[in-house]
Structure formats: C-alpha cells, structure tokens
Structure 1
Amino acid sequence: MIKPISHQIIETKEAPGAIGAYSQAVKAGNTLYISGQIPLDPATGDLVDGDIEAQIERVFDNLAAVAKAAGTTLAHVVKFTIYLTDMADFAAVNTVMQARLDAPYPARAAVGVAALPKGARVEADAILVLG
C-alpha cells in the first residue's frame, strides 16, 4: 500500500487570500507549490493601479510573501508559469524577473490567455524546492 504524502498548507495575510477553493500554497516534502497570484493589493483586495510593470511587480511581491510564510524566498524557485492576457507584455516580465532574481534563472513558461480573474493582465505561479 502506498502511503499518502503528507502536506502543509501555507497561508499569509501578506498576500491576497484565495478567491476560490484553493490554498495560497502547499508544501509537500521539500517542494512548495505556490498558487497563481494576480496583482491584488493584499490590504485592499483590489488590483493595483499602474502599468503592466506595476502589476508584474505586485505579482512577484505576492509570490515572495507566500514564500516567506513558508520560510523561504524566491531564490528557491525552480519553475514559474506566467499567464499574460497580452503577449506583448512578455518583455516587461523579463525586466522584472531580471531585477528580482539572480542568474541562473529558474525554468519558466509564458502562456497567453484570454482573461484572468478580476481583469488582471498577469498571473504567475511557482514551484520551489527547499533545503
């Protein structure tokens, strides 16, 4: 019989709460899975004002807050998935990532989507390996 993997739910008020039936993050073994973050201000629950770079910065702030709640940082990310409603914003993602992360950079996928929750222009999730 296969023993189920134990996991820990990660939650923080420093990032927006879940909008639906999911957790901000789940830690299973030495892997942390951070759910998709959109550019919501955790204090107000509203989308941040500003251009696409401001939205991307807020998304990375939210991802970093969830990582911190799990006792880690974005330096442990092995894979990001970025969702964009306009692939022309791809260059802005690169600009923010280069400013926030050190090389060598994690793996990444960028996916064009028709729409995101609350009218966001960007969403990102992350997988981190700890220890």
Structure 2
Amino acid sequence: MKKNVLLLILVSFCLSSCKESPQFHKSHYPEKAEAPFSDAVEANGFLFLSGQIGMDHNTRELVDGGIVPETKQAIENIREVLELHDSDLSQVIKVSVILKDIKDFNAFNKVYVTHFTHQPARTTFAASGLAKDAQIEIEVVAVK
C-alpha cells in the first residue's frame, strides 16, 4: 500500500511540476492505427501504456489456451511496446492487472513473477467483460 501511495505522489508531483508536453504514440501495427487511444503516452520520463490483452497482433486473435498463454502474450505485447520506446520490463514501476475471473490469480501470478522479478507496485482485480472476451488485461507505467 505504501508503494502505491508513494508512486501516486511521485507521479502527481512530476506531472504537475514538469513542463514537458506529453507525446502520444499511436500503435506501430497498421490495424490499430485508427484506435481511439495511444499505445503509449510519454510524459516527463514516464511511459504510460494502454492495457494489453493476450492478443497476437499479427493474427488479431487471442492466443489459445486460457489464462497462462494469454498472460504470457500480454506481457510480450507490453515488452514490445516498451522496447519501441527505449524502455523494458525492468523499468516498469506500476502494474495494473484485470482478470476476468479472480480464480485465475494463482495461474496468472506464476507467469507474472517470472517477468517482473524486480517487484513493481501492482493492483490486481477481477472484472467481467474484457475486450475480445480476454481472460486478462495488463497495463503498466514505466520509466525510460
């Protein structure tokens, strides 16, 4: 809880005191060029990524197999966006995870801990009705 509060204070302070204009980065995938959101927004040394689901962006379909492969694919999608903007998973400071079913928490977490070994702040909750009927959506905040 203390990590989340400190993170929010830090982000709020930087966003209110820094003068750099945000840069809105559209997707590098042509199929997503007209999406009504940016894949990443860069502001004052931070990258705010839109949520990623377990979609293979080449086929535009969710990967088969449920929560484990969807979690792996969502994290790979995040890794790809971060690398395009000169960052990587080790620079992630905050993760928000939305599960379709909270019963999938343990299976998701087994995958998660292999990719986020530095233990960024995290919020996890369940909600029904994710995009494309996905099992999981993950969004992150990272530094460059």
* Structure number with higher helix proportion: 2
- The structure, 1 or 2, with the larger RCO (C-alpha pairs under 8 Å, 6+ apart) is 1
Matching residue's letter, 2:120: P
TM-score (norm 2): 0.80
Partner of 2:57: 42
Query: Of 58, 61, 68, which residue of structure 1 is paired with 2:73?
Result: 58
For 1:29 and 1:85, the matched residues in 2 are separated by: 33
Partner of 1:119: 133
For 2:33 and 2:99, the matched residues in 1 are separated by: 20
Q: Tell me the alpha carbon deviations over residues 25-56 of structure 1, each in whole angstroms, 9 at most, x when there is no partner.
A: 11111010000011111101111111210000
Q: Which runs of 5+ in 2 are unaligned?
A: 1-16
What is the aligned-residue RMSD (CA, Å)? 2.2
Tell me whether 19-28 or 118-127 shows the greater mean CA deviation: 19-28
TM-score (norm 1): 0.87
Identity of aligned residues (%): 31
For residue 12 of structure 1, give the secondary structure of its aligned residue in structure 2. coil
Query: Of 65, 73, 94, which residue of structure 2 is paired with 1:79?
Result: 94
Partner of 2:120: 106
Q: Which runs of 5+ in 1 are unaligned?
A: none
